[in-house]
């Protein structure tokens, strides 16, 4: 049995995909770059600046670092304004029940997310109380598939990577977990990824494999 579990946030514990999509699409539209659901999938598990680089690549656009920073900040402002509508009702009962049962088993839990808004999301949804640690975009310099965010999460829990499992819905996240020496568990899109050590159809199934 693992001593700790590190959860990706978006797509695993809660979905803000639509908010990200809306904010990124508004930026792409301004730049005249075609951007739909298919293109949006390229951004899953990717940091803000790396996401912007992908979008610019789609349009074969080259901008200065200052211009890129400005666009990234505008995207984040729009995303955060959308986030303000989040409430505890945005979290399924299955997620809450699973986190409670893991706590009862004495398993430490952390969030490992490349988002710089992770703590705000946890606060708005009432999820913060369920976690012992948060590793997010404010404390890392490399985004997934680099394992830094999960390695720091394990360190915050006082555990080795080998003692922890990572739950991810993105291929880049599974690659990140594997690169760090974690036991990787795929859910959602990542449940069909052959490199995941285990695959689950819903968060509740986690209780039967940990």
CA torsion sign, 84 to 80 to 23 to 184? Answer: negative
Cite the beta strand spans of 22-180 per DSSP E: 108-112, 133-135, 164-168
Q: Which of 8, 146, 169, 175 is catalytic?
A: 8
Answer yes or no: 8 catalytic: yes
Question: What residue has token string 């639509």?
Answer: 18
Query: How many CA atoms within 13 Å lie on the side-chain side of 3?
Result: 10
Residues counted in the chain: 210
Q: Name residue 5's beta-bridge partners.
A: 109, 165
Answer yes or no: 10 catalytic: yes
Q: Which of 10, 136, 146, 175 is catalytic?
A: 10
Q: Annotated catalytic sites, by residue?
A: 8, 10
């Amino acid at each position: 049995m693992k001593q700790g579990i590190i959860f990706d946030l978006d797509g695993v514990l809660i979905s803000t995909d639509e908010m990200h999509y809306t904010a990124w699409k508004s930026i792409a539209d301004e730049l005249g770059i075609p951007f739909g659901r298919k293109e949006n999938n390229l951004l899953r598990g990717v940091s803000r600046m790396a996401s912007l680089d992908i979008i610019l690549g789609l349009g074969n656009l080259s901008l200065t670092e200052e211009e890129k920073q400005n666009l990234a900040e505008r995207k984040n402002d729009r995303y955060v304004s959308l986030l303000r509508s989040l409430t505890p009702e945005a979290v399924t009962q299955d997620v809450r029940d699973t986190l409670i049962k893991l706590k009862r088993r004495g398993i430490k839990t952390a969030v490992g997310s490349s988002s710089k808004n992770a703590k705000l999301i946890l606060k708005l949804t009432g999820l913060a109380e369920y976690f012992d640690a948060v590793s997010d975009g404010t404390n890392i310099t490399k985004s997934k598939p680099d394992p830094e965010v999960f390695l720091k999460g394990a360190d915050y829990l006082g555990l080795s990577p080998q003692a922890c499992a990572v739950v991810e819905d993105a291929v880049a996240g599974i690659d990140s977990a594997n690169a760090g020496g974690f036991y990787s568990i795929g859910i959602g899109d990542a449940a069909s990824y052959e490199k995941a050590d285990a695959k689950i159809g819903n968060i509740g199934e986690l209780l039967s494999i940990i």
